Amino acid sequence: MPLIELRGVSRRYTLGEIEVRALDGIDLAIEAGEFVAIMGQSGSGKSTLMNVLGCLDNPSEGQFLIAGQDAAQLGADELAALRREHFGFIFQRYHLLPHLDARGNAALPAVYAGVGSGARSARAEELLQRLGLGDRLHHKPNELSGGQQQRVSIARALMNGGQLILADEPTGALDSASGAEMLRLLKELNAAGHTIILVTHDPGVAAHAKRVIELRDGRVVKDDGTPTGHAASPVHATSPAAPAHGGWLRRLQVQWREALVTAWLSLRGNRLRTFLSMLGISIGIASVVSIVALTSAARSTFEGEFMSVMSGKIWIWRGNNNLPPGAEAPSFRLAELDALRSLPGVAGVQGEQQLPVLLRHRARDANLQARGADADTMRERKLKVDAGRWFSAWELAEGAQVLVLDEQSRKALFKDSESPVGKTVMLSGSGGLPDATGATPNAPLPFVVVGSVKADSQLGFNFGNGNAYVPASTYVQKLDSRPSVDAFSVQMDFKLPPDEVLRHLKHRLRALRGAENFSSWSGDSEFRKMQNFTAGFAALFAGVGAIALLVGGVGVMNIMLVSVSERTREIGIRMAVGARQGDVRLQFLIEAVVLCCLGGLVGVALSWLGAQVLGAVQDTLKVSVSWGALGVAFAVSSAVGLVFGTVPARRAAALSPVDALARE
């Protein structure tokens, strides 16, 4: 059985109206081990025939059999496998990949056979050494002479075995000495059992072959036929054995590595372009990471600090802004408070000991809020001692005339340089100090300042004037012994939603008091407002992020399409040496993903910087870029790369090898 057989093969090109018959009814049989020259003038169809023989191109008509198998029955991957495992191409213009060195170029076919890089390099070095290029292993094609480049392409043809070597004008671009050397090598390979098909327009070159087939206008006009006595010879070892091919897992691993390295080289080769196309992705990812960081920071800050104090409580105090000027809202009677205790959702009602007072130290006056305090007040209001101390147990129990100032009240009464501790201040009620009968004898009382406190929380929640804390016992005995309070807090039992409890409270209080002459504040509703605010913020960022990612993705797609058309020849070369369509697709997809992930990394760096800046200018929100955010960034970038890399990758994979190779 002939190694190769053509039966009535034609190849037509249609250029608009005109039809070109590049091949026109070729019948041909070539045995294994032959050395055939295909000769003819320029335009006679030699290259077209060569492309058909090499399974780079399909005939328009007729049958093409390889070892008895009809090539038309083979799928793209099977044809790729044939090229990879059995064919070796040598082109007039060498067709080496410019960014790979001699060794990398020679080893390329083994990449697609799934051979590991160590075995690949060893074999490539051995072949190059035998071809006299032992000292040129790491030279790029542009650092090699024509003859040297052509020898690299021979090494590449032999990499996986190269049973059938297809050489299209291999001497065409060489000087005569290099050309002669080339022919000597081809003869040597033929002697070692390789089948050689050599295309040339030069009768002098053709004369080196054992059989000459002449083409004219796509037809065979002369064929010597297989030399009599030719014994079809199996290939025997002319060269070190081709490395063993790996299993599918090994192949996958080799593919991925190669695709990553290629992607990296190509991106590095176009730095500015890479940077610019990364930009959109970077901005998008920066937004995405910022959302994650900011919302989680906001949540932990508000939920942790704010809600630990505020949750479950509603504050109610007398008076509000809607009262007519001069109208005085009455205090809450203890009976009113008792009436509220029985409302649904209410766990308890606690009168607030607070009273507007006037404090005087030397010539300074300050309108402040006197508050009854106990041992738990510091913890509840998130205070820490700034100077002096908190009340002693004795002072708390015995109604001592001592007080602790907060930051605001200390500043109102004392100079910054002056320590308030140990000083005596005079306290009087703004409207007099009411006693149990409601009378207001206005006798200022001396109080000794024992300490000052300041907020221990990032969230100060002091409204209105500064506070002057006095022991609760002192408050009742000396400041306000009325059976009524100006403000109180309601603890909820969480069996009803806070808003509903608040509605019940207001309704009942209005009924009891005959008018809405009070105000209320609920930590939970405030928290909900804050949550809505954060959610709005997050949505804004998400919108910006999504748009930036979309624009960035389109940019990446655009750049990848440009890259595909720029690298058409490279794709053709890879396909000629046996890359499957899937390999090419993978390569470009990985390149898009790598590009996007690089952009994502820059984006993460940007948001990290942003977090540092935010941390430097304020300390309410503790924003940090977490590993979770990094994971999200990586996942999103990869997804964008996959989505927007698909079109370019498919386009690359769909290129026909012969068209791709024809492109210069």
Q: Can you give the binding site for ligand ADP, defined by CB under 6 A? A: 13, 15, 20, 22, 40, 42-48, 662
Closer residue to Mg ion in complex, CB, 170/345? 170
Asked if 121 and 107 count as a contact pair (C-beta separation under 8 A), the reply is yes
| CB neighbour list of residue 385: distance below 8 Å, 6 or more residues apart | 378, 451, 452, 453
- Residue 518's SS3 state is strand
Minimum distance between the CB of residue 662 and Mg ion, rounded to whole angstroms? Answer: 10
The CB-of-44 to ligand ADP minimum distance in angstroms stands at 4
Strands 195-200 and 164-168: parallel
Residue 44 binding partner per list ligand ADP, Mg ion, none, with a CB distance cut-off of 5 to 8 Å that depends on partner kind: ligand ADP
CB closer to ligand ADP out of 46 and 371? 46
- List 468's β-bridge partners, or say none: 370, 405
Q: Which is nearer to ligand ADP, 15 or 231 (CB)?
A: 15
Residue type at position 561: L
Q: Shortest Cβ distance from residue 51 to Mg ion (Å)?
A: 9
We find the least distance from the C-beta atom of residue 81 to ligand ADP, in angstroms, to be: 25
Q: What is the 3-state secondary structure (H, E, C) of 230-252?
A: CCCCCCCCCCCCCCCCCCHHHHH
Separation of alpha carbons 287 and 148, rounded Å: 52
* Minimum gap (Å) between residue 189 Cβ and ligand ADP: 22
> Using CB distances below 5 to 8 A depending on partner kind, what does residue 170 bind out of Mg ion, ligand ADP, none?
none
Nearer to Mg ion, 215 or 349 (CB): 215
Residue 13 interface partner, choices Mg ion, ligand ADP, none, CB cut-off 5-8 Å depending on type: ligand ADP
* Strands 18-30 and 4-15, bridge-based pairing: antiparallel
d(CA 592, CA 605): 20
Helix axes 117-130, 146-158, angle to 10 degrees: 130
- Rounded Cα distance between 246 and 117, Å, is 11
3-state secondary structure of 102: helix
Supply the minimum distance, in Å, between the C-beta of residue 154 and Mg ion: 19
Nearer to ligand ADP, 15 or 363 (CB): 15
Instruction: With contacts defined by CB under 5 A, name the span among 3-11, 42-50, 242-250, 547-555 that binds Mg ion.
Output: 42-50
Alpha-carbon distances of 634 from 266, 282, 595, 638, 649, rounded to whole Å: 21, 11, 12, 6, 21
Query: Could you tell which of ligand ADP, Mg ion, none binds residue 20, using a CB distance below 5 to 8 A set by kind?
Result: ligand ADP
Minimum distance of ligand ADP from residue 569's CB (angstroms): 14
> Helix, strand, coil proportions of the chain in percent (round to 5)?
50, 20, 30
> Any contact of residue 47 with Mg ion (CB under 5 A)?
yes
Measured in degrees and rounded to the nearest 5, phi and psi for residue 370 equal: -85, 135
Q: Judged by CB under 5 A, which stretch of 41-49, 81-89, 257-265, 448-456 contacts Mg ion?
A: 41-49
Residue 43 binding partner per list ligand ADP, Mg ion, none, with a CB distance cut-off of 5 to 8 Å that depends on partner kind: ligand ADP
Using the CB atoms, write b or e for 570-591: b if 16+ within 10 Å.
Answer: bbbbbbbbbbbbebbbbbbbbb
45 binds, among ligand ADP, Mg ion, none (CB under 5 to 8 A by kind): ligand ADP
Binding mask 573-612 for Mg ion (x = CB under 5 A): ----------------------------------------
Cβ neighbours, 10 Å, residue 379: 10
Residue 36 has φ and ψ, to the nearest 5°, of -110, 135
Question: Shortest approach of ligand ADP to residue 45 CB, angstroms?
Answer: 4
Q: Which is nearer to Mg ion, 59 or 280 (CB)?
A: 59
173 binds, among Mg ion, ligand ADP, none (CB under 5 to 8 A by kind): none
Which CB, 47 or 287, lies closer to ligand ADP?
Answer: 47
Cβ–Cβ under 8 Å, residues 520 and 316? yes
Q: Which is nearer to Mg ion, 10 or 47 (CB)?
A: 47
From 554, 555, 586, select the one nearest 652 (Cα to Cα): 586
By the criterion CB under 5 A, which residues form the site for Mg ion? Answer: 47
